[in-house]
């Protein structure tokens, strides 16, 4: 098995004929070309087959083929040379150049040839022995990548080639390609509709990180313009509406691709006045019934706002609330459909607004005066600026609202759905309010009235409906014709990422398991207590309970079946020996050993007494094989200097899949979906005592080789036990 693994694990650097250090020295790196290089070399060896001729003879044959313009035959001969002398960078470079002389028979063959030329040039660059060879290979690589329209890597390759050696033809090709496809200014935009306008310039590549761009941008009339750069965009902030600006971008503005802006660019920009538009300030849809009942409308550059208000009745509310329309911005088409099919228009008119040029103006729409007595259901108000140049009416400013003093909250539990109704004005519970549980198909599943605490419970059977009978909405009607609703299909508040998720509550019995303290030392006794209760907190008596104690490595340490000792309580004394592993121990309680646990707790086992002995563990062996023991040496001494003579050794061995093989960081070997072996340690038997010098030498045997396709690692744990019972592990 080990021999097979070594035969197939070839890293990218070794496949290219390089050491890891040589591969790291190369400036131009692309993972896709490195992978293609491995495949190309294998393909060429397969195509060449057994090669009987010498490299010198093959070169003569290749030259003869090129003299008669038979480039395909010459290319095949170069492939044979590459198969026999794969480290010849010059041959790889020649192979790449010859490909450009071949006239492809189809577009697919052209793509194939260009990919092979790029890969061959990359291999030539990686195996080049001096800067001159590297420059030639990068020039050919840049040309082939440009033919494939991979402009950025082509530019990088040509730039590196010129850094090594200046060649006029390569310089001309690079400059032309850089002008057309290199780092350059693409466009600019002016954000005139925001309260604080700005001008933004978009570039073809990302801008340099953590760079002061002030020297590269000049704004007429300002010494230090406010600039912000993000990704491929550079913005000038702090502009004013109705003014003109002269902005100059200077050549050399830096990017992340080691290219500066090739030439300066000047812009004369006019920041127009803001376009008339209207918006609402919030997505909240509940308005208080007491106090000011006005909906704030924010307008810009408009003397009036066109307002339409629709009402969706209580019995037609379910589809709107459950579907995606609720609390969303509506288009004119959706608004027309709402008025014709699901709701009714209850108010339409204009709301006069003040107008301060380019400033946000907030005006309250008086709901109570405009609509009078509100009926059960939800209201939808849309607003649009009046006059020419207003905002696009395909998406209207939309505000959903109800006017209510009823605050509704719902909680799902094993016993059903708990609903609480409180006053929004005083937070007092609202009693005698009628609560309907509405199904997805708009049927009324149940009707309840809140008690004096504002609470009502819909039993678990009502909450388990599926399909059209699944609970979808709660509607609440107060004694004073107050009305509110709550969707049960929308996302609930999830506070689990804030550290307040609580523990999962079992569906049946619930066990509270605890130890009398949280931390123990070895050789002490842990006293465990378990209290078994039902969903209402009543004691569950009579039946047995199983406690399973697990060590920190997940191995079961003890299993105990405990009878009821009164009031649903059970106790267990758990003695810990001197060799128990330190870490977090876990205790699980089961009423059914084949079911899931009904409660659990943890406790720590830690060392408090400082070490008094020290020992080194060593071996000359690197591999352990089945039935071939390896020899380990333990050399110990007391911290005050005396040898650890006569001390007993204990040990375990853990065989598990290795995380990675040395020298192959990032690679994994073996079958991906193979089940991993258990993490159970195997005890080492008959370990000797340390001799008079504190030294012990002993064999460790792997009795059975693990059946796995993955590389395996054996971890051997040895403990030297001092006279006081404390063990030090290495």
Place of tokens 């760079």: 211
Average pLDDT of the residues in 418-447 = 93
Chain-centre distance for alpha carbon 642: 54
pLDDT over 90 (residue 508): no
- Give the largest CA-CA distance in the chain: 105
Q: Supply φ then ψ for residue 102, to 5 degrees.
A: -90, 130
- Which tens digits make up the pLDDT trace of 16-42? 344 333 444 678 988 899 999 999 999
**What pLDDT score does 548 carry?**
96
Place of tokens 């059209």: 468
Q: Where are the alpha helices (DSSP H) in 148-188?
A: 151-164, 168-181
pLDDT over 70 (residue 590): yes
Higher pLDDT, 179 or 703: 179
**What pLDDT score does 389 carry?**
58
The class of domain 406-497 in CATH terms is mainly beta
Do 574 and 558 contact (CB within 8 A), yes or no?
yes
What is the Cα–Cα distance from 339 to 348, expressed in whole angstroms?
A: 12
**What pLDDT score does 392 carry?**
54
pLDDT over 70 (residue 494): no
Q: In CATH, what is the architecture of 185-271?
A: Sandwich (2.60)
Domain residue limits, the chain: 11-181, 185-271, 277-404, 406-497, 510-605, 613-729
**What pLDDT score does 492 carry?**
73
The CATH H-level superfamily of 11-181 is Tetratricopeptide repeat domain (1.25.40.10)
Place of tokens 């992978």: 35
pLDDT over 90 (residue 705): no
What is the Cα–Cα distance from 306 to 228, expressed in whole angstroms?
A: 38
- The closest alpha carbon to 700, from 722, 712, 683, 713, belongs to 683
Q: Where are the alpha helices (DSSP H) in 100-167?
A: 107-126, 131-147, 151-164
Tokens of 80: 């044979």
2.60.40, 1.10.3470, 3.30.70, 3.30.1340: which CATH number matches 613-729? Answer: 2.60.40
Give the DSSP letter of residue 220.
Answer: T
Q: Residue 75 region, left (φ>0) first, then alpha (ψ -120 to 50), else beta? A: alpha
- Which tens digits make up the pLDDT trace of 189-203? 999 999 899 999 999
**What pLDDT score does 10 carry?**
27
Average pLDDT of the residues in 544-573 = 94
- Report the 10 Å Cβ neighbour count for 697: 12
pLDDT over 80 (residue 324): no
- The closest alpha carbon to 578, from 528, 520, 617, 527, belongs to 520
- Which tens digits make up the pLDDT trace of 351-371? 999 988 999 999 999 888 888
Least confident of 294-303, 405-414, 671-680: 671-680
Tokens of 606: 């830690």
- The closest alpha carbon to 88, from 49, 44, 154, belongs to 44
Q: Supply φ then ψ for residue 387, to 5 degrees.
A: 110, 170
Average pLDDT of the residues in 537-557 = 92
pLDDT over 70 (residue 287): yes
Under 8 Å CB-to-CB from 20, ≥6 apart: which residues? Answer: 11, 13
Do 612 and 638 contact (CB within 8 A), yes or no?
yes
- Which tens digits make up the pLDDT trace of 600-624? 999 999 877 678 899 999 998 888 8
pLDDT category at 55 given cuts 50, 70, 90 is confident
Average pLDDT of the residues in 643-655 = 90
What is the Cβ-side half-sphere exposure of residue 393, based on CA atoms within 13 angstroms?
A: 17
Give the DSSP letter of residue 314.
Answer: G
What is the Cα–Cα distance from 290 to 287, expressed in whole angstroms?
A: 9
Do 183 and 255 contact (CB within 8 A), yes or no?
yes
Tokens of 583: 């870490």
Instruction: Identify each DSSP E strand in 250-293 by its residue range.
Output: 265-271, 277-280, 286-288
Do 455 and 442 contact (CB within 8 A), yes or no?
no
**What pLDDT score does 543 carry?**
87
**What pLDDT score does 292 carry?**
60
pLDDT over 60 (residue 349): yes
Tokens of 486: 């709550």
In degrees, to the nearest 5, what angle opens at C-alpha 648 toward C-alphas 644 and 649? Answer: 100
- Model pTM score: 0.56
pLDDT over 90 (residue 221): no
Q: What three-state secondary structure class fits 25?
A: helix
**What pLDDT score does 497 carry?**
66
- Which tens digits make up the pLDDT trace of 154-178? 999 999 999 999 999 999 999 999 9
Under 8 Å CB-to-CB from 270, ≥6 apart: which residues? Answer: 190, 243, 244, 245
**Helix axes 131-147 and 89-99, enclosed angle (nearest 10):** 30
**What pLDDT score does 2 carry?**
31
pLDDT over 90 (residue 182): yes
**What pLDDT score does 19 carry?**
39
In degrees, to the nearest 5, what angle opens at C-alpha 154 toward C-alphas 104 and 249? Answer: 135
3.40.50.2300, 1.10.10.10, 2.60.40.1930, 2.60.40.10: which CATH number matches 510-605? Answer: 2.60.40.1930
What is the Cα–Cα distance from 471 to 49, expressed in whole angstroms?
A: 71
pLDDT category at 263 given cuts 50, 70, 90 is very high
In degrees, to the nearest 5, what angle opens at C-alpha 432 toward C-alphas 426 and 434? Answer: 105
Place of tokens 């307002």: 307
- Which tens digits make up the pLDDT trace of 393-418? 567 899 988 888 899 999 987 788 99
Give one DSSP letter per residue of 397-466, joined into a string.
EEEEEEEESEEEEEEEETTEEEEEEEETTT--B--S-EEEEEETTS-EEEEEE--TTSEEEEEHHHHT--
Higher pLDDT, 585 or 325: 585
277-404 under CATH 2.60.40, yes or no = yes
């Amino acid at each position: 098995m080990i021999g097979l693994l070594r035969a197939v694990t070839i890293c990218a650097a070794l496949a290219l004929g390089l050491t890891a250090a040589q591969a790291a020295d190369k400036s131009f790196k692309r993972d896709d070309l490195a992978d293609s290089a491995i495949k190309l070399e294998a393909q060429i060896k397969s195509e060449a087959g057994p090669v009987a001729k010498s490299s010198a003879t093959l070169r003569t044959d290749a030259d003869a083929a090129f003299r008669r313009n038979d480039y395909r035959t010459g290319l095949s001969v170069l492939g044979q040379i590459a198969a026999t002398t794969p480290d010849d960078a010059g041959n790889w470079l020649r192979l790449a150049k010859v490909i450009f002389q071949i006239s492809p028979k189809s577009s697919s063959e052209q793509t194939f040839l260009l990919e092979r030329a790029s890969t061959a040039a990359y291999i030539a660059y990686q195996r080049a022995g001096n800067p001159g060879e590297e420059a030639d290979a990068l020039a050919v690589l840049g040309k082939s990548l440009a033919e494939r329209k991979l402009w950025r890597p082509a530019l990088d390759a040509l730039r590196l080639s010129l850094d090594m050696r200046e060649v006029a033809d390569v310089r001309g090709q690079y400059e032309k390609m850089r002008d057309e496809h290199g780092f350059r200014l693409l466009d600019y935009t002016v954000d005139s509709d925001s309260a604080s306008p700005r001008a933004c310039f978009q570039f073809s590549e990302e801008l340099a990180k953590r760079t002061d761009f002030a020297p590269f941008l000049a704004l007429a009339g300002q010494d230090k313009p406010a600039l912000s750069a993000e990704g491929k965009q550079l913005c000038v902030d702090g502009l004013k509406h109705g003014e003109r600006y002269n902005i100059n971008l200077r050549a050399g503005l830096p990017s992340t691709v080691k290219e500066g802006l090739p030439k300066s660019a000047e812009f004369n920009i006019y920041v127009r006045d803001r376009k008339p538009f209207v918006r609402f300030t919030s997505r909240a849809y509940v308005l208080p019934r007491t106090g000011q009942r006005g909906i704030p409308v924010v307008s810009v550059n408009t003397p009036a706002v066109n307002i339409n208000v629709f009402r969706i009745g209580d019995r037609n509310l379910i589809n709107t609330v459950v579907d995606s329309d609720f609390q969303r911005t509506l288009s004119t088409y959706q608004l027309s459909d709402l008025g014709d099919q699901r709701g009714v228009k209850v108010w339409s008119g204009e709301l006069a607004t003040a107008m301060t040029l380019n400033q946000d103006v907030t005006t309250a729409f008086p709901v109570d005066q405009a609509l009078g007595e509100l009926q059960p259901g939800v209201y939808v108000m849309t607003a649009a600026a009046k006059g020419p140049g207003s905002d696009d009416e395909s998406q209207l400013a939309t505000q959903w609202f109800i006017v209510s003093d009823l605050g509704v909250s719902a909680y799902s539990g094993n016993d059903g759905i708990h609903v609480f109704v409180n006053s929004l004005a005083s937070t007092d519970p609202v009693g005698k309010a009628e609560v309907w549980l509405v199904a997805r198909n708009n049927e009324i599943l149940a009707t309840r009235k809140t008690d004096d605490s504002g609470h009502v419970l819909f039993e678990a059977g009502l909450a388990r409906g599926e399909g059209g009978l699944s609970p979808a909405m709660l509607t609440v009607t107060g004694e004073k014709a107050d009305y509110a609703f709550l969707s049960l299909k929308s996302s609930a508040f999830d506070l689990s990422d804030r550290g307040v998720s609580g523990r999962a509550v079992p569906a049946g019995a619930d066990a509270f398991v605890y130890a009398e303290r949280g931390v123990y030392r070895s050789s002490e006794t842990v006293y465990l207590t378990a209290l078994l209760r039902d969903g209402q907190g009543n004691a569950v008596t009579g039946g047995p309970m199983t406690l399973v104690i697990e060590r920190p490595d997940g191995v079961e340490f003890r299993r105990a079946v405990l009878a009821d000792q009164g009031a649903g309580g059970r106790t267990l004394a758990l003695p810990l020996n001197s060799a128990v592993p330190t870490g977090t121990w876990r205790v699980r309680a089961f009423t059914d050993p084949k079911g899931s646990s009904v409660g659990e707790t943890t406790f720590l086992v830690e060392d408090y007494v400082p070490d008094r002995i020290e020992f080194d563990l060593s071996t000359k062996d690197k591999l352990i094989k089945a039935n071939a023991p390896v020899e380990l040496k333990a050399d110990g001494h007391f911290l005050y200097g005396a040898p650890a003579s006569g001390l007993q050794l204990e040990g375990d061995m853990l065989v598990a899949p290795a995380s990675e093989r040395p020298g192959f960081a990032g690679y994994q070997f073996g079958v991906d979906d193979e089940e991993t072996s258990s993490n159970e340690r195997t005890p080492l038997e008959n370990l000797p005592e340390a001799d008079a010098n504190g030294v012990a030498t002993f064999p460790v045997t792997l009795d059975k080789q693990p059946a796995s396709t993955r590389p395996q690692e054996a971890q051997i744990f040895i403990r030297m036990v001092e006279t006081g019972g404390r063990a030090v592990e290495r």
